[in-house]
Structure 1
Amino acid sequence: MTTSSSPSPSRLDPAALRLYLVTDRALCGQRGVVETVRQAVAGGATIVQLRDHDATTRELYDVATQLRAVTAEAGVPFVVDDRLDVALAAGADGVHLGQSDLLPVHARRIAGPDFVIGHSVSSLDEIVAVADWPANTVDYVGVGPVFATSTKPNAAAPLGIDGVRDVLQRCELPAVAIGGIKETHVAPLRAAGADGVAVVSAVCAAADPAAAVRKLLAAGEIR
């Protein structure tokens, strides 16, 4: 059984998931989130997600508007983690919703047909559940965590590459793998069926974010 939901091609090209950067304010350090993203998209990052669970709503909005400008100039999609209100207010392309966030079906009613909605799944049951929603509710799924990661300590149990493959075999939506991913994992995850990989520390903590992105792209022979 596969999911029946399928995305609108006009909302998000699956190629945009090739190198998905998720921000982390602490890991970006003194360089800051905005400058880190600026360098990462210069290196080839194909989509950016603003994630900051410690920020106030006003702080999140301020950074979101700055990232919207950076990503728009680069022609890269920009989404906000969890916060549909901030995503809409900042003019982001979309929102990424986890299992405890607003349901994508409700977000779709609020945001309309042209807004990108991503959804996190960590098991076969969760990916199958997406099939119960109306078609075009979700544009892509984030599958993970692949490996344990300190950037999201409350995440579900790691799936491993084989577990990601099992989930993707039941999924017809574009998918990005996330969680503890390093250069050596990119090619196996692509072979397992992921359209791309999402990274946090591999880029945010790098001395040269642009170079780190280029290495990750090359590791999976992603062009």
Structure 2
Amino acid sequence: MTRTDPWELLGVAEGSTAEEIKAAFRTKIKNVHPDVYRGEMDAQEITTRLVLAYELLLEEAENPTGRRWRSSGSGGGWIDDEEEDEEDGDLWPWVNEIRCLGQSCRSSCIVTAPFLFSYAEDTARARAMSPNAFQGWSVGGETKDRARYCVNLAVGQCPELCIHYVTSDQHAELTDKLQGIIDGMVPLQEGAFDIQAYIAKASYDNNRRPRAKRRPKAEGEYVDWY
């Protein structure tokens, strides 16, 4: 399954009602049940994509227009359009290339969100474009909403959990640490431990940062991927 468009995945048109989305999801999910599915793709991977597409589209259908999906350090949530400019670019994907499986990954972020991720020439592992280099969420022929969906899906389905949301400063710091390992200036084991420790602290700090404009509608508004 290479399609990452949530509407295409569920087989519904944009603007479909909540009931139409629910009906489509029930039909699709039955087809990947272990007792029924006989395809070559990983049924669990297909199920994960269907569930995520269902949750995003149902949330959109059941809430007023003018809200968009926004990634956070450990998941995401819906924000109002007027909040978008202030929040946009707050946290950014960074790939721990030491853990990345590269071209052997069956759930490649490069396939899911090729406008943001690509194989690095020096490591042959996935690398996210830096915040300064990225030109906008509408690149690659994707609309902003669909592009964000693809990025969230790429992060959520990573089998090694090696994609992390960080600030631009943290992104630069982690990139420098990784480059030290690549250049042979830092031993692999020592550098890998340092990166993991930095990621853990960054995640803790970012999750504590106040986001006063966020107004969750109910418990569970923001989704933890794992």
Same fold? TM cut 0.5: no
Q: Which has the higher contact order (CA 8 A, sep 6+)?
A: 1
- TM (normalized to structure 2)? 0.26
Structure showing greater Rg: 2
